[in-house]
Structure 1
Amino acid sequence: MVWRCLCKVKITWLDTSNDLGWDIVKNNFWETLEPPWQACLDEAWKAYCSGSLPIGAVICDESEEILVRGRNSIFQTELNDKTATNRKLLHAELAALQSLDEANQPSAMTLYSTMEPCPMCFGAWYMSSVKSLHFVARDAYAGSTNLRGKTWYLQWKNRQIEGPVPGLEKIVLAMHVEFDVRVRKRADDVVLERWKEVLPEAVEFGKALAEAGTLEGLAKKGTGVDIVINRIEDMLSSKN
């Protein structure tokens, strides 16, 4: 069933060699997303279009007003911060947290991220004054929200975590898989195997996107993130 559907997708939806009406969607999924998630996805798509992992993050106040943004830059060729020399540390959540002027910010803030934070970003969040974390997709490989409360300090600091986000999780993970397969040449390594244990459909769909070159083509065309997210959601929904 899965491969039959993917073949159909490759022939029709995933062909970016001509105009197939990517701006025409069955359901405007994008409009159902809360503003913080739209902003995170916008940063993730910018990261992807810049040649990096499609991960985005924002920090909002209690009224969901966006205070700062951040995106993954570990593979980006040109960096705004010329002092950043260790690219492995250029993660979206860390970028957002480092941009926050905590001296002039409200006490109730939330860090939103498209992916479950890694140990580094999770630790940076705990050390900040941002007390809530919301993430879209589970990361069965490097995600570290299970560290909450594991030490006296982590137990002492009151932190709230929410995630994953149903519906959006598959989209985010599929985009991540596409990048890992197409750019990082990961096909069946431990990262994808771990993700497959959580969301096998998203992993297989991401591989199909990579083989077809769909997202790469859309990035070169300058396609907006709203159109990209709506179309991916349409394709995933058509499989159910």
Structure 2
Amino acid sequence: MMWRVVQSEWMKMRKSSIWFPVVLTPLLAIAIGFMAASHGPLLHRMNANPWNSYYFIVVAAYSLLMLPLLTGVLCSLMCRFEHLSGGWKQILSFPIPRSTIYIVKFFYVLVFVALAQVLMMFGVVATGVSVLHISTAAPWSMLFRSILGGWLACIPLIALQLWVSTWWKSFGAPFAVNVILTIPAVAVAHSSRFGPVYPWAQPMLAMMPSGHHFLYVTTKTASTIIISGMVLVAVGWTHFSRRDITS
């Protein structure tokens, strides 16, 4: 049953516009990072540790602004078909458990975010070698740990925004809320008290290479991600499974 739902969702998405933000987001972050790294003073400071310096520049914009916004766009697009012309009534009229539909949509958003993360990682390496001419070996271990940590840190955000996207019919309303809550992350991320518990700041904290933790996240941040992720998934799942669908 679940495999059929996976195939059905894939048929809807393979020719949809959902691929556009997945590809555009890492490309835009890399372009911003490259332009900043090409600036004279920044390029001079990169000489000591070029890969770390370049990656910090790219990740600063990507993880703090673009990645949280990407999760909101993907969640909205995953539910866009069902919000049009009574799609929810149609899909829920089939003998398919609601929990299966919710899990498959959540799974696909995770996959698309993972794809964006991988594109960002290889894009950084490609531009670093071919454009910035960084001659030292790429720090694959650091990059993989950062990319994986950022992906895991998106789980609470995805859970929250998928819940909202299945609830609200409008595509613009969840995105507007996401933008409004993303902006304070610029300031909150630098707070040792509030940063680790603010979902929109967690991807940045997880992706910035620092300390000796395996995934560059502190125990407080990791425990918050795990607990909040489980709670938000359970709440969204329960609400979707029990609420009345009117359109």
Shorter-chain TM-score range: under 0.3
TM-score by length of 1: 0.27
Q: Does 1 or 2 have the higher relative contact order (CA < 8 Å, sep 6+)?
A: 2
Which has a greater percent of helix?
A: 2
Over alpha carbons, which structure has the higher Rg? 2
Which has a greater percent of strand?
A: 1
TM-score by length of 2: 0.26
